[in-house]
């Protein structure tokens, strides 16, 4: 490995593999850099003298391969590439761990901006901000409109009983990271468990759909939806609800989430729901349950981070504030579900 190789990416081994399996793709010496901002899998931009690509691999030292399944990511973007959903072209999947120490895949480099802050959108003005947000909703509708069977993804997940399994999964996660009293969180879970809605038609879901997981070009068009590691077949309203929960950032102290939705011109929650409902034709009358579940899920995620931090298992700055974010999420989730009673 040369001194310029970023952690987890041996460029000599990568070049040899590409030359063998995609001859002619690269034409010169490779260089690479890590893309900052990823929350799980590692993303690199790899360049030669003429072109650039993106390489994705699991984090260094990962233990659970099912949590960082490169084949699933590669498969979903391969399937969606022929649809209206903008995704990078999937070029090559390598499941041989001997090359880079873990499976990885190579995809097309797509230009565009992942808007992460309100300041970035403020610079564009309210009209462009609204156009970008509307496009974000429309692209989600496009995703949820794809027939999984038509793109070879009909076995990509188990839609039957999806919401019940999700609720059990996150309750198990909560029980595994309990280290303090969390007022209201069991009440929130019980409210959710007592009123699980009947899902509509299943779809491919992204699992973490938000503005900073898409790229936007200079004409305010979405050029790519990224970070498909949570994707599966399931209830599409979970995508919409999580996007809305992220947009409630200021109300629930979600300091680690992008504040872009607070920029002037960004549509209100009601406007986002109305646009999605009109364009998708889906019944959103029980969306409060889904939003309550989104807050429960986010609370469990934060509590897990706090638990690992309290045990000295998390390295880095800012984690000491995470624990304080759990209570507002729980309170907001309970408040929303009380409105339904």
Domains, the chain, with CATH or none: 11-108 (3.30.200.20), 118-338 (3.90.1200.10)
pLDDT of residue 69: 83
pLDDT of residue 65: 46
**Residue 61: Cβ-neighbour burial (10 angstroms; 0-12, 13-18, 19+):** exposed
Cβ pair 299, 330 in contact under 8 A: yes
Q: Which residue(s) pair with 46 in the sheet?
A: 32, 53
Which residues in the chain show pLDDT less than 50? 1-2, 62-66
pTM: 0.92
Helix (H) or strand (E) holding 330: helix 326-338
Calculate ∠ Cα 36-42-48, nearest 5°: 80
Q: What is the pLDDT of residues 19-72, one digit of tens each?
A: 999 999 998 889 999 987 655 678 999 999 899 999 999 887 644 444 558 999
**Residue 112: Cβ-neighbour burial (10 angstroms; 0-12, 13-18, 19+):** middle
Cβ pair 32, 11 in contact under 8 A: yes
pLDDT of residue 311: 78
């Amino acid at each position: 490995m040369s001194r310029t190789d970023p952690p987890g990416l041996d460029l000599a081994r990568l070049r040899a593999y590409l030359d063998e399996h995609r001859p002619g793709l690269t034409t010169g010496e490779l260089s690479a850099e890590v893309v900052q901002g990823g929350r799980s899998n590692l993303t690199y931009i790899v360049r030669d003298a003429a072109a650039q690509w993106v390489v994705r691999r699991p984090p260094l030292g990962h233990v659970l391969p099912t949590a960082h399944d490169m084949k699933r990511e590669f498969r979903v973007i391969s399937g969606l590439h022929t649809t209206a959903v903008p995704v990078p072209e999937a070029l090559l999947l390598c499941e041989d761990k001997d090359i880079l120490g873990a499976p990885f895949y190579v995809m097309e480099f797509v230009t565009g901006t992942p808007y992460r802050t309100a300041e970035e959108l403020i610079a564009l003005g309210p009209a462009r901000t609204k156009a970008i947000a509307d496009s974000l909703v429309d692209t989600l509708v496009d995703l949820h409109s794809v027939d999984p069977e038509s793109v070879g993804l009909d076995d990509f997940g188990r839609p039957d009983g999806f919401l019940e399994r999700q609720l059990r999964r996150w309750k198990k996660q909560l029980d595994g990271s309990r280290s303090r009293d969390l007022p209201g969180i069991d009440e929130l879970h019980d409210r959710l468990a007592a009123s699980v809605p009947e899902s509509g038609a299943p779809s491919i879901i992204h699992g973490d759909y938000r503005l900073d997981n898409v790229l936007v070009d200079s004409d305010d068009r979405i050029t790519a939806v990224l970070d498909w590691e949570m994707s599966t077949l399931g209830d599409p309203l979970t995508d919409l609800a999580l996007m809305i929960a992220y947009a409630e950032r200021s109300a629930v102290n979600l300091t680690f989430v992008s504040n872009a939705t607070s920029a002037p011109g960004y549509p209100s929650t009601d406007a986002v729901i109305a646009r999605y409902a009109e364009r998708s034709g889906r019944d959103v009358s029980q969306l409060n349950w889904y939003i309550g579940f989104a807050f429960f899920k986010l609370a469990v995620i934060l509590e897990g981070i706090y638990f690992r931090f309290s045990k000295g298992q998390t390295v880095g700055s800012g984690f000491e504030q995470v624990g304080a974010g759990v209570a507002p999420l729980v309170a907001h989730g309970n408040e929303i579900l009380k409105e339904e009673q």
